[in-house]
């Protein structure tokens, strides 16, 4: 099970880009990198998943360098509603093999 | 309508009481999970089920039991509740993983349980 390390918290302001980096030095060949978002008093919600290079969807971008030992979730032009906890998960298969750590609490201020 | 529902949303009970938390889903997924969340600890897996006849213990199953009554229903029971089981409980489902990918999980709204 790949261990992940991400910052405990980050502060930002509306309109800025937020980049959250997750370290996973012992990532295995078949592991994927997945990010979830959790708003207060709600369950986590899938944001994005990737294996290598860059993945983009309507919510975020995920940058993965060639060595795959880290990944960066990028949230463009954040708003107050992006205040949430963001979890980085690394693993090959089913959620029983993955681990939700403490995540990164992102606070967006006006 | 929500795809994954949990009842009750909030519950206060006393030490030693038996309590059941229920989860229903309309997503048609075979795989279902129960997690608990404590402040600052992320989510920890209690039990999971890959189909109606399959039940597996997760990271922290002691003090809990589950029942998979149907594909759409997965219940979590605390046989004799204790105060350190006070937490936020989440039910989740997941789609079978795509070739090379990891399951995407869908979470319910959570049940806030307080054991006095």
- Residue A84's pLDDT is 96
Cα B41 to Cα B36: distance, rounded to the nearest angstrom: 10
CB contact under 8 A, B103 and A94: yes
- Residue B95's pLDDT is 82
Q: Does A44 touch chain B (CB under 8 A)?
A: yes
Residue of A3, A27, A94, A99 to mutate when probing chain B, most B C-beta within 10 A: A94
CB contact under 8 A, B33 and A32: no
**pLDDT tens digits for chain B (116 residues)?**
569 999 999 999 999 999 999 999 999 999 999 999 998 788 899 999 999 999 999 989 999 999 999 999 999 999 999 999 999 999 999 987 665 678 889 999 999 999 99
Which residue among A32, A51, A95 places its CB closest to the CB of B105?
A: A95
Task: Establish, for the pair of chains A and B, how many residue pairs have beta carbons separated by less than 8 Å.
Answer: 69
Chain B residues with beta carbon closer than 8 angstroms to that of A90: none
- Residue A3's pLDDT is 84
Question: What CA–CA distances, in Å, run from A103 to B34, B38, B43, B62?
Answer: 19, 13, 10, 25
Q: Which two tokens stand for residue B51?
A: 């189909």
Write out residues in chain A with pLDDT < 70, as ranges: 1-2, 94-97
- Residue A54's pLDDT is 94
Chain B residues with beta carbon closer than 8 angstroms to that of A47: none
Q: Which two tokens stand for residue A25?
A: 């030095």
Residues whose CB is less than 8 angstroms from the CB of residue B2 and which lie 6 or more positions away in sequence, other chains included: B108, B109
Residue of B10, B43, B93, B96 to mutate when probing chain A, most A C-beta within 10 A: B43
- Residue B97's pLDDT is 62
CB contact under 8 A, B92 and A43: yes
- Residue A41's pLDDT is 84
- Residue B41's pLDDT is 80
| pLDDT tens figures, B58-89 | 989 999 999 999 999 999 999 999 999 999 99
- Residue B1's pLDDT is 55
Which 3-state string (H, E, C) describes A48-84? EEECCEEEECCCCEEEECCCCCEEEEEECCCCHHHCE
Specify whether the CB–CB gap between B71 and B51 falls below 8 A. yes
């Amino acid at each position: 099970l790949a261990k992940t390390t991400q910052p405990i918290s980050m502060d930002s302001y509306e309109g800025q880009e937020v980049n959250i980096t997750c370290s996973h030095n012992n990532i295995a060949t078949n592991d994927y990198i997945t990010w979830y978002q959790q708003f207060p008093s709600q369950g986590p919600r899938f944001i994005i998943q990737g294996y290598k290079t860059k993945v983009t969807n309507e919510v975020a971008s995920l940058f993965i360098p060639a060595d795959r030992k880290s990944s960066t979730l990028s949230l463009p032009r954040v708003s107050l509603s992006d205040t949430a906890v963001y979890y980085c998960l690394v693993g090959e298969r089913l959620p029983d093999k993955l681990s939700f750590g403490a995540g990164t609490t992102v606070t967006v201020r006006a | 309508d929500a795809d994954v529902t949990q009842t009750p949303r909030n519950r206060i009970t006393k030490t030693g009481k038996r309590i059941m938390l229920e989860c229903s889903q309309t997503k048609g997924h075979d795989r279902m999970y129960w997690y608990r969340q404590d402040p600052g600890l992320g989510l920890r897996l209690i039990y999971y089920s890959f189909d109606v006849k399959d039940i597996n213990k997760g990271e922290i199953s002691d003090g809990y039991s589950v029942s998979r009554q149907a594909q759409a229903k997965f219940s979590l029971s605390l046989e004799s509740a204790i105060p350190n089981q006070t937490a936020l409980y989440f039910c989740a489902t997941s789609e079978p993983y795509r070739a090379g990918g990891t399951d995407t999980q869908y979470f319910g709204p959570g049940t806030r349980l307080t054991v006095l």
